[in-house]
Amino acid sequence: MLTVLDAKVENPDVEKRTYQLVLNFGHHQSNVRLFCKEENNKTKVMLVAVMEGRCPCCGKPNCPSLSQRGDELLAQVCELDAFKAKASAGESLVF
């Protein structure tokens, strides 16, 4: 099972309501990004990408199963201390 240890927000666009979440799993030196968009007070994962290194779940440079786990990874981000208060209050994670 993948466990997100930390996440940071990059490239927020207030007009388009989009941003990227850079995820840290603590191994494989991978840089996994969730490309997110907020619509109707909900965050939607538009794309999951391994930007550098290898997939944290299988070690491959390109992993189709990681792309299918965007919602699961977003849920883990919402449980991190830095995002938990906003997520539980139903607020935007970024804006």
Q: Residue type for 95, please?
A: F
Q: Are 49 and 35 in contact (CB under 8 A)?
A: yes
pTM above 0.85, yes or no: yes
Q: What is the pLDDT along the chain (95 residues), one digit of tens a residue?
A: 678 889 999 999 999 999 999 998 876 567 789 999 999 888 999 999 887 777 888 887 777 888 889 999 999 999 998 888 887 888 788 87
Number of Cβ within 10 Å of residue 36's Cβ equals: 22
Q: What is the DSSP letter of 88?
A: H
Q: What is the DSSP letter of 83?
A: H
Q: Residue type for 55, please?
A: C
- Name residue 33's beta-bridge partners: 22, 49
